[in-house]
Amino acid sequence: MPARTRKPVIPATAYPVERFTLDNGLRVVLSPDRSAPVVGVAVVYDVGIRSEPQGRTGFAHLFEHLMFQGSANLEKLAHFRHVQGAGGSFNGSTHLDYTDYFEILPANAVERALFLEADRMRGPALTEENLRNQVDVVKEEIRVNVLNQPYGGFPWLKLPPVMFDTFPNAHDGYGSFDDLEAATVTDAADFFDRYYACGNAVLSVCGDLDVAEATRLIERHFGDVPPRPAPTRPDFAEPDLSDERRASYTDPLAPLPAVAAGWQVPDPVRDLTGYLPFVVLAEVLTDGDASRLVRRLVHTDRTATGISGYLGFMGDAFDVREPTAMLLQAHLPPGGKVDGVLTTVDEELDRLATDGLADGELARVQARLAAHLLRECDSVLQRSLRMAVWELQRGAPGLLNELPRLLGSVTADQVRGAAATLRPGRRAIVEVVAGGAR
């Protein structure tokens, strides 16, 4: 009998974590790393697409843009000038459950980033001119990224309204033009007052820093930001599906058909142990040429030209709250049949649930997952973002050090059990009918 493959040895990281909370409620995470003279600074607010009010679709993303339009102390574009003038870069992004703002700079410019973030935390310049300008910018983003793009919004905008029933989970997070144009300065001010409070945010600084000095600078710049408590966060949970839901639409720009399927999975925050097997399962099914669905659909049957699997509608497996999903999406060749692809997916899930994993299959996937996480966290900016989000959602920024090991502890039986739950009656499906050039 051949020897069974040994489990991979996944190295542990030991990034230091310092946490404290200012008197105004702002939570702070520091992680010193003197290996390179750079720092990553991130401010994450507990507000995202799911929080935007009904009738204001796209508002969370619109407000992210408004936060770069100046403040009482800085003119429009000053943030850009000060960060880039120090040799740094910056950006922001809107997610389902949070909005982040970040900079990476030379270590000697850390105070500049702290001043800039504290300044707009006190209040951005919410003017009619800025609002109208940024509404136009967001509308152009929608045109470029969705309306004029093959498979635009597939599946992250198209699948949630099939899978979910409530407005927070099912609506178009990019926003309708009507809703964006109807937004007022009063709406923006109310949104800021409610969600952009110190008590609703986390500041994270990682990299070449002295903890005592960084603490002094943070207290200097953020300590007098007026305190406001975090709003009560609604419960966005929805019941699981009891019957398959299915929708299709014609994409006039798509040259080939496509399909995506999603199943609800355990709460990634309150039930991380139950959630992690699905993260591993998605990789077992679709990660690389050796994965089950790539071998079967792409190489053997040739009923798909590509397939991918991941957790979270925006691919943010560890930065999302409940409800979330495991997704499989496939692009098909000309004349490809969606039902044939779905049947093959069901067959492979049944086979995995019945027969379990092959020797070495789990070890290979766990090693790849761990390598990806470890490589990603080499960057002080990614480290600062991850620690900020995990402090915000879990009160556990140190998960950064634990996650590779936790993924490595997932067992073959847990993956097998996860596969057994992905039944046709629990899934939502959206099909893209190709309307583009053949």
- What percentage of the chain carries pLDDT values higher than 90? 94
**Span 141-145, mean pLDDT?**
97
- One DSSP character per residue, 18-59 reads EEEE-TTS-EEEEEE-TTSSEEEEEEEES--GGGSPTT-TTH
* Res 6 pLDDT > 70: no
Q: What is the pLDDT of residues 289-336, one digit of tens each?
A: 999 999 999 999 999 999 999 999 999 999 999 999 999 999 999 999
Q: What burial letters (b/e) apply to 222-242, b meaning 16+ CB within 10 Å?
A: beebeebebeeeeebebeebe
Helix (H) or strand (E) run with residue 8 in it:
none
Q: Residue 258 phi/psi, 5° resolution?
A: -150, 160
Distance, CA of 182 to CA of 56 (rounded, Å)? 8
Q: Specify the pLDDT at position 12.
A: 81
Structure tokens at 143: 């045109």
- Rounded to whole angstroms, what are the CA distances from 345 to 156, 275, 332, 341? 20, 20, 14, 6
For the CA atoms of the chain, what is the radius of gyration?
23
Q: Residue 28 phi/psi, 5° resolution?
A: -130, 135
Q: If you search the block for the tokens 């659909």, which residue do you land on?
A: 297
What contacts 24+ positions apart, CB below 8 Å, involve 334-338?
334/256, 334/438, 336/256, 336/257, 336/303, 336/304, 337/303, 338/257, 338/259, 338/431
Of residues 359 and 4, more confidently modeled: 359
* Res 436 pLDDT > 80: no
For the CA atoms of 228, 233, 234, 236, the dihedral, rounded to the nearest 10 degrees, stands at: 150
Q: How confident is the model at residue 10 (pLDDT cuts 50, 70, 90)?
A: confident
Q: What is the pLDDT of residues 262-290, one digit of tens each?
A: 999 999 999 999 999 999 999 999 999 99
Q: Specify the pLDDT at position 438.
A: 46
Amino acid, single-letter form, for residue 220: R
Sign of CA dihedral 239, 242, 244, 247: negative
- What percentage of the chain carries pLDDT values higher than 70? 97
**Span 110-129, mean pLDDT?**
97
Distance, CA of 436 to CA of 255 (rounded, Å)? 4
Q: If you search the block for the tokens 């040739």, which residue do you land on?
A: 302
Q: What is the pLDDT of residues 50-86, one digit of tens each?
A: 999 999 999 999 999 999 999 989 999 899 999 999 9
Where along the chain do its domains lie? 18-222, 245-434
CATH class given for the domain over 245-434: alpha beta
Q: What is the CATH number of domain 18-222?
A: 3.30.830.10
Amino acid, single-letter form, for residue 355: D
**Other beta carbons less than 10 A from residue 34's beta carbon:** 10
Q: Are strands 201-207 and 38-45 parallel, antiparallel or unpaired?
A: antiparallel
Three-class secondary structure of residue 9 per DSSP: coil
- Helix residue ranges per DSSP H, 123-238: 128-142, 160-163, 167-170, 177-182, 185-195, 211-222
Q: Specify the pLDDT at position 5.
A: 57
**Span 361-388, mean pLDDT?**
95
* Res 221 pLDDT > 60: yes
Helix (H) or strand (E) run with residue 351 in it:
helix 338-355
Q: How confident is the model at residue 2 (pLDDT cuts 50, 70, 90)?
A: very low
Query: Within a 13 Å sphere around the CA of 191, how many CA atoms are in the beta-carbon half?
Result: 28
Whether the CB-CB separation of 64 and 51 falls below 8 Å is answered with no
Q: Do domains 18-222 and 245-434 have the same CATH topology?
A: yes
Q: What is the pLDDT of residues 155-197, one digit of tens each?
A: 999 999 999 999 999 999 999 999 999 999 999 999 999 999 9
Distance, CA of 143 to CA of 54 (rounded, Å)? 22
What is the average pLDDT value for the chain, to the nearest integer?
95
Distance, CA of 153 to CA of 57 (rounded, Å)? 15
Q: Specify the pLDDT at position 4.
A: 56
Q: What is the pLDDT of residues 294-303, one digit of tens each?
A: 999 999 999 9
Amino acid, single-letter form, for residue 138: V
Sign of CA dihedral 49, 54, 58, 60: negative
Q: Check residue 319 and report its DSSP letter.
A: S
Cis, peptide link before residue 155, omega less than 30° from 0: yes
Q: Specify the pLDDT at position 127.
A: 96
- Helix residue ranges per DSSP H, 183-260: 185-195, 211-222
